Amino acid sequence: MTVKNQTLINIRERSSIRAYTRELLTKEEMDILKDAVLAAPTARDRQQLRYSFITDETIIRKIDARIFHYCDSAMKKMLRERNADSFFYGAPCAVVITGTDTSWSDLDAGIAVQTLAIAAQSMGLSSVILGMPRLAFKADDPDNCRELMRMEEDERFCVAIAIGHAATTKKPHVHNPRLIRDFN
């Protein structure tokens, strides 16, 4: 199938990149990404998500430290195999998406993170969607990163994404048409 629609091309060509150059994102790139995520719909237009755009390496390292505190040896081994010392893979921008604890927060966050991933791809940037940072925000951890991110009491981590200029390439995953169920 030949696809000429640029949005569909971006979706098909996107892959999770786990190594980034040190090149920072420009103010214009950051503004475009912020505008894109604000355009993502939320259930009943409640807009209960918060988007923390982090470019401060100190904050990223603090979040990493809490993740490493909790992650298991298999995950640490996987990072070593990827030659990574950060769960954000050296990306110059991390976006942590949080929301109030409603039944719609995770769905809304999924829409928002995919919006960011496709927006980044359309700008020539790369990304990887991340769930492991959830370990840095555990409510029962007295050293969690909730205060660092100025999270409200009823706010919780939903998902994160690392965005930057790729230092590696990776083919998109193979599409498996057997995952589709047609009801005609």
> Which of the 8 DSSP states describes residue 132?
G
Q: What is the mean pLDDT of the chain?
A: 94
| Residue 52 belongs to a domain | yes
Domain count, the chain: 1
| Residue 58 belongs to a domain | yes
| Residue 178 belongs to a domain | no
Higher model confidence: residue 103 or residue 160? Answer: 160
- Name which of 59, 108, 115 is nearest 88 in CA terms: 59
| Residue 107 belongs to a domain | yes
Give the model's pLDDT for residue 144.
96
| Residue 164 belongs to a domain | yes
Residue with tokens 């555990």: 138
Q: Which residues contact 173 (CB under 8 A, 6 or more apart)?
A: 15
Check pLDDT > 90 for residue 152. yes
| Residue 181 belongs to a domain | no
| Residue 159 belongs to a domain | yes
What CATH number is attached to the domain comprising 91? 3.40.109.10
| Residue 176 belongs to a domain | no
Q: 39 in the Ramachandran plot: left (φ > 0), alpha (ψ -120 to 50) or beta? A: alpha
User: Which pTM was predicted?
Assistant: 0.93
**Residue ranges making up the domain that contains 152:** 15-169
CB contact at 8 A, 83 and 19? yes
CB contact at 8 A, 36 and 119? yes
- Structure tokens that stand for 28 in this block: 């214009």
Check pLDDT > 70 for residue 3. no
pLDDT tens digit sequence for 81-138: 998 999 999 999 999 999 997 789 999 999 999 999 999 999 999 999 999 999 999 9
